[in-house]
Structure 1
Amino acid sequence: MGQLNLLGLCLKDKSLQDGHGTPKLFANLREYKMLRRLNRELEMLFYRTNKQVSAELKDLVFKTFWEKLRSNSNGFSEEYDKYITNGTVTVETYQSIIIWHIATDLCFYTDSGMNEPNLSRKVMSKDVSDYMMYILAMCPLAFSTGNAKVGFESTRVNVEIYFLLRNLSGLPKDQVCEKMISGYKANDFLKQKYLSREQKYLSIESLLPSAIQLAKELNQKNGKWEILSFG
């Protein structure tokens, strides 16, 4: 199962860098303006990983899909979107994946002292989240909309700028996630003073703050890992 973590990609592993945020293998590409985009594509290849699918995860996927088939509930996307927009705004699939991926990471690294069942769901939630981000980043044509690639890259840039402006680059990931949640302010990301509800949720720029806000709300719920592991 392919794995790609957006926050990890933006933070980057210092042991593999040239000191300026780029893996040593591709650092020389920085000197060539026309190759900068290729450099960012190569970075994703460098930071992706693979993970064995556990029997427990297979069992969870099977049980969850079987429960959905037997019920008359909405699909996965509709049920997840209601946590983002209270069901008032339509969210594109790629937007939902990005928001939930970041929120899952924030919950994962700011949660501790869990019992074994919840710990298992916590790990599986992150594995699935990193897999969905892998599909989005590496296979954007799998989505019906052409905005998936643009949405991923725009969010990646916004996260990198966020880390830079708040001096988060280079810190351990658990500290970064803690600071992202504790230091979040609803108006931090808005360039304009007034935006409609639709603009706020659907603008590419709003995906990061929406993810942080979602993580803050999930952290207040006792059953957040049931929600994050397919609901």
Structure 2
Amino acid sequence: MKLVIVLLLLFVSTHCSASLVIAPAIFEGNVDDFAEVLVIELYNSSLEEIYVEVDIWDLYQQENGQPQLRPAPRRLVLPKNDSLTIAPNAKALLELERAILDQAIYQAAILKTSTKGSKSNLAQAVAVLFIIAQAKEDYGELVNVACLLGESINDSSILVTIKNEGSNHFKTEGLITLTNKNGENIAELNLEKGIILPGATRSFSVQIDDEFVKNNLYWGKLQISLGEKKLTYDLDFSDKEKDQSQGVLK
């Protein structure tokens, strides 16, 4: 079974003298290329002993695409040690074991560092984000396409909302072609490319020209890629109450 592993680092804050270097910074590739236990090297480059606490958090996503972390009720990545003490100018190994080998995992190992006598609110927080995605069919769904008419110049936009109902993340990109009532193309608008995590609903906004709004040219076509799946929808914004997710699928 093919899986993809992506390991990212997020440095949250630094308010103490502790200095922790983590390597490697990124793992990416097929899970068959990695051992079942992933080993991360931690190096204390300071002159003080560092105490490291390890916790596991879930990775999720807001509608604007911003990734977020929250405590994981169920650990799918298991640290062999919940805490480590690293001497000055010394190294230590952090081992992370996958609990279920055939399940996609979107979790993070949070490394909270502190030195002797330092308060917890002054500790350095280092987040290690794991994305383990099973390479299988993408389950993206177009939730809605809305034409948002602003009150000021250049304040109108088209909002495309997509939901990921699968167990794996996928990339999305799209093109909106605006037409007049005769079917003639008058503009092409590119949607921002982005990743949608499992269970997330994400919206993509693209600005439209005032001429499109002023002349009531409310027709168009949306071509969108949800991972490997490519879809085309006919759009008709002349009826403001119409649910565009039910548009004509080509």
Please report the TM-score for the alignment, with normalisation by the length of structure 1. 0.21
User: Does 1 or 2 have the higher relative contact order (CA < 8 Å, sep 6+)?
Assistant: 1
- Whichever of the two has the greater Rg, that structure is 2
Say which structure is richer in helix.
Answer: 1
